[in-house]
Structure 1
Amino acid sequence: MQDTVFTFGTRPVSLLEASVLAALLLLAFITLLVVSALRQIKARATSEAIAADRIEDLEEHLARMLRSQGEITGRMQTMAEVFSSRQGDMMRAVNERLDGMGHKLGLSMADTTRQTHDGLRQLHERLAVIDRAQKTITDLSGQVGQLQAILANKQTRGAFGQGRMEAIIQDQLPPSGYSFQATLSSGSRPDCLVHMPNGAPPLAIDAKFPLEAFNLLRKAQSEEDLKQAQTQFRRDFTKHIQDIRERYLIPGETQDTAFLFVPSESVFAELNENFEDLVQKAHRARVVIVSPSLLMLSIQVIQAVLRDARMREQAHLIQAEVAHLTADIARLNDRTGKLQAHFAQASKDIDQILISTDKISKRGRKIEDLDLGEVRGEAATSSGERVRLMAGEE
């Protein structure tokens, strides 16, 4: 035991001392190994804790992302329902408004069309009456004798002409379209005033045709009597035309033309056949000679003018309604454009939301695809080694 194994400097080292020194060195080496192992175990534990915290953070972040995705999906469904409801209400309101306006316009057009058809039908009826009246001119010519007997008396003649003229006027025009024996500003009283539309002056009609001289023409037996009767008739007729012009043609108050009513078609025909110069003179004096059929036709023309004026008034109403309808359509177009812009912006926002949702879904799938099983396996292996080391140390 005291044998020298080796000499360390000048001092000999025995076997015992060498054994003790070797044991100390071995103990120091084992201590270093244990410290190194402990450090490795601590580092692995720290890594495992960090990995566990990271996994927990990732799981929490994924849960938040899933919750956000659910909320976004719910909001999108709500927005889609709201947009669908509002669009349905808007379309229903627009359809109701268009239906109402179309119905109103249709009624107005139908009423105007009906009135036009009624007017044309009445015009055709009046033309048929005129045709029948012209066909009876020959029959009326045979009644000249009876007419002469009636017209022999001046007062009776005036009443007859006035009555026939009034019958024609009353049959053709409404009560508001004429007036009998109206007094003018000059004090004259024409037999009839026909009121014209649009505020135009009325038309004067005289029914006092000078038949005394005309009857002398019928009664003339000789050539001399015939010439005298013609001279008398021309003088009386010219004077009556001048009286009508002076009494009834008042500028601004009456029309610049007046009617002279002849109550017999035969007298009117003979006047135009044998006294054309008097007819031309009457025309130059702005006096138109009319027979019963011509007066009826003239009144029908005036009636058509009155009806046309009423139709123009209705046309103004229709044009006003069409203008209102056009304005409503313009406002509807503007509002539809604004609504379309809102829908376009909403559609753009929804597309952006869908893009964000798609990105979130892709990130979620990437997180799901992470190899978390290997990390958990390494953590379990490290824990087992640490337990074994601790058991060996004990």
Structure 2
Amino acid sequence: MDGSLLAAFGGAAALARMAAWGAVLAGGLLVVWLWRGTRARAVAEERARELDLRLAEMARLQAEMTGRMQTMAEVFGSRQSDLARAVSERLDGLTHRLGASMVETGRSTEASLARLGERMAVIDRAQRSMSDLASEVLQLRSILADKQARGAFGQGRMEAIVADALPPNAYTFQATLPTGVRPDCLIHLPNGAPPLVVDAKFPLEAWTALGAAETDDERKLAGTRFRRDVLRHVIDIRDKYLLPGETQDTAFLFVPSESIFADLHERFEDLVQKAQRARVVIVSPSLLMLSIQVVQAVLRDHRMREQAHLIQAEVVHLLDDVARLHDRVLKLQAHHGQAAKDLEQIVISSEKLQRRAARIEDVEMGEAVPASPVVPIPLGASRLAGE
């Protein structure tokens, strides 16, 4: 019983303690809840104040940002206007420079086109000249293709060279020799010397065939023919035109082309030597001109020799005139010497007159001064006699 009571009492005590602890725990929880509510309200109020402060700060920042944005807008506006003005000025300057450049470019283009037009005109004239030259070459080719025309061409060129360098009485074209043959030209030499024969019928047919040959056999055949024709013509000149006492013992065979003459000496040297041994000299236009100039010098020297006696007579007359002039100069010198002496005497008389006038001026009027006799002095007397 006692034990049950004790147990019951102990259980009640335990329950009481548990209840007390429960009450304490509930009070603590209530205090904690109240504290937490108060803390929460304080935190909420603190946060509200912070939020208000932040909102105020944000409002201030927004206001500042608005002001700055306005300032920036004003700055941007002024900068934009400055930029627009600068861009406008630069565009105006660029437009002006572009216009000036375009004008200058137009002028230079116009000048270039003018120069181009002048050059085109020069090219056009050159082209016309080349066309004319081509037609002349074709004419020359047609002339050289015809034997008679080719002979007339060589004859005409030889006659032009001779007629340009010699007087008309120094040559004769197509003259007739005593044997009845007619050389192309006779050049008359002075002192009764026989004339020099010039033949202009160089055989160019074989030369044309030689130039047209394509194979070695054709060239060999054309070369043989050319040698035969030239040698035959050289022999004809020697037999027909070299007449003792009537013509010179040397004749000229005229080649109307410098290129043919050079090629002849280069490729057919043996033919040139054979012609020289036959006393026939093959000459080109330049060599014929040089020979004609030599003949011209000989004729000039002959004319000077013919006029030598006249020149000597004129020189004698010139010497007589020089001697006569010398005598007259000596006489004039003598006259000048006599005139100089007369002038000296006149000066002496003048000086004496001045001295006498000075003595008369120095004489006092109250004294009698014997007058010295005045002796007349002849004009041509010497200086000592006058004194």
TM-score (norm 1): 0.45
Say which one has the larger Rg. 2
User: Given the two structures, how large is their TM-score scaled by the length of structure 2?
Assistant: 0.46
